[in-house]
Amino acid sequence: MKKLLVCVAVVTVVLIGVEKYFAGPSAPVFDYSGEPNSDQFVHDNLLATLYHEIGHAMIDQLELPLLGQEEDAADVASVFLIDALYEEEAAIEITYAAADMFLALAEETGEPYWASTHGPDLQRYYNLACLFAGADMDARAHIGEDLGVPDGRMIWCEIEFEAAENSWGAAFEGLAEKAPTQSVVYEGGTETLFEKMIMEEVVALNEDFVFPNTLTVAVEECGEPNAFYIPDEVRVVVCTEYAEWLRYLPLPQ
């Protein structure tokens, strides 16, 4: 269930032109003979990934300045959006599912691919845990501790979230000012739970945000488990193969 977006203040930006911002998580060959993951795990990680891509779309459409790697900024946007838009129980559930995915990837892939545009999976895991806990340390410190954030990092988590709020809050405020509207459109089927979930999320996005140009969110076959944003088309693509990949991703015990 969603909650109202808490509005803050507006900035201008510079776009780094890359055709596909999100190359997706590293995808080793997994053994698909194991037990599949739950619908909830797949659903929650699809949401976290969708909002990562929405972060890329915001960076592009609002011409937001980048002072670091764009993938890191999109990760922060995903956490910030989930914290702002979802009720506490749902936000916590999504955070744990996304953390499990990053931890699983770190264990499966071993040595990070250092040339990737993404940070190492284990670093993304700790960044997610710290940032989410930092949004409300009184209520969520135990989540950071449960996910193993070291004490030396935990003391900075609240400050890290405040920095994210100062950076992203203005952008969200700008997009929320004229909502609701129909600036986000869905492109894809309506048969599977995966498709219906993304379609419903598009409806909800239109209640919260107005993009300067129409943003298409598409579900389609890509030939790989992936999700990405295409600036020239103002289009987020979530691949059907990505849902299956999440279904059989071996989780840490």
Q: Quick one: pLDDT band at residue 66, thresholds 50, 70, 90?
A: confident
What pLDDT is recorded for position 153? 96
Rounded distance between C-alpha atoms, residue 83 and residue 221, angstroms: 30
Six token digits for residue 167:
């950076």
Amino acid in the structure at residue 253: Q
What pLDDT is recorded for position 3? 53
Question: For the whole model, what pTM was predicted?
Answer: 0.85
Six token digits for residue 47:
């949401």
Rounded distance between C-alpha atoms, residue 27 and residue 236, angstroms: 20
Would you say 112 and 25 are in contact if contact means Cβ atoms under 8 Å apart?
A: no
pLDDT tens sequence across 87-109: 999 999 999 999 999 999 988 77
Average pLDDT over the chain, rounded to an integer: 85
What is the Cα 121 distance to its own chain's centre?
14
Rounded distance between C-alpha atoms, residue 86 and residue 92, angstroms: 9
- For residue 56, what are the contacts with CB-CB under 8 A and spacing of at least 6? 21, 22, 70, 74, 229, 236
The residue assigned the tokens 């969603």 is 2
Would you say 108 and 196 are in contact if contact means Cβ atoms under 8 Å apart?
A: no
Rounded distance between C-alpha atoms, residue 236 and residue 216, angstroms: 6
Would you say 148 and 128 are in contact if contact means Cβ atoms under 8 Å apart?
A: no
pLDDT tens sequence across 130-178: 999 999 999 999 999 999 999 999 999 999 999 999 888 888 888 998 8
β-bridge pairing 184-187 and 235-239? unpaired
Instruction: For residue 217, list its beta bridge partners.
Output: 186, 236
- What is the DSSP code (8-state) at residue 86? B
Rounded distance between C-alpha atoms, residue 133 and residue 126, angstroms: 11
